[in-house]
Amino acid sequence: MRSWRFSIAGEAWRAAIPAVPTEETKRAFWQQAVPELALQKGSPPPQPSAVVCRVTARTAGRSAPGGPLGRAKGLLDALHDDRRSGPQYQDLPGRAPLVDDHPSHVRALAVEIAAGEPQTEYLIGAELAIAGELIASVPVEAPAPNDIVGTPDEKAKIATGRAAFAAAVQRAFANPRSLLHRRPAALVVRHRPQRDEDNTWATWIAAVCGPGRQGPTHWAYGAPLAGWVPTAVASTADPTLETPVLYEVWS
């Protein structure tokens, strides 16, 4: 039996779909997943919810099937009607698992990836549970801007905010290379409540893990754990935090 790091503390609404999304295939995933999810029986999940997505995917010749980042939005948006394309729950028998993905309805989002035949397992409940050893807890003194660009002015504001956030993250991590020797597997981002739970994942992850193959002009160049691709990522809103963001690294 596979061991997963993310689960729900207590009772969970569950469903499984024999497909997985990527950024490029999320619309095809919605076409398959939404009608199947609409037919799920049982009580609706609590609100606000913690949403756990356990994904098994083929590796396509690589040693690993890719990380959670490009899958998060497709996974979460399959659970509600607040999106611009794909089938709508309101037109189907049954009901949507979530009203939408606004902070009042989704308080945590966790995506975990493993190699295997394509499947997405959803668990939705009141509280996110994490298994493993916490090897670092890093408070960051700056908030991360939203990833979604609407206007040229907003684009410039986001660029400035990302640069400031990246600098704050680099200051916050002490001796980061030692963490990589401890085989980290999961990144958890605790943050003060802001916009929809999936709207800042690109910034949160790149600020720690770097810009991939992009060069020194990228705002996340010099990230403390550059090159690390976590197989499990979660974000969770916490209004009691003393700083805008608190990173946790789990092995």
Local mean pLDDT, 10-residue blocks, the chain (251 residues): 90 95 94 95 88 90 69 95 94 93 94 95 96 96 88 87 96 88 93 89 95 86 93 95 97 92
Q: Name the DSSP letter for residue 71.
A: G
Tell me which amino acid residue 114 is: A
Residue showing tokens 């979460």: 76
Residue 150 DSSP SS3: coil
Identify the pLDDT of residue 213.
78
Under a CB-based contact definition with an 8 Å cutoff, are residues 103 and 237 in contact? yes
- pTM assigned to the model: 0.93
Identity of the amino acid at 174: A
SS3 of 99, please? coil
Q: Residue 101 in contact with residue 192, Cβ under 8 Å?
A: no
A 10 A CB-CB count for 150 gives 9
Domain ranges of the chain: 6-130, 134-250
CATH class of the domain comprising 6-130: alpha beta
Write down the pLDDT at residue 205.
Answer: 95
> Residue 174 has what pLDDT?
84
Give the model's pLDDT for residue 155: 87
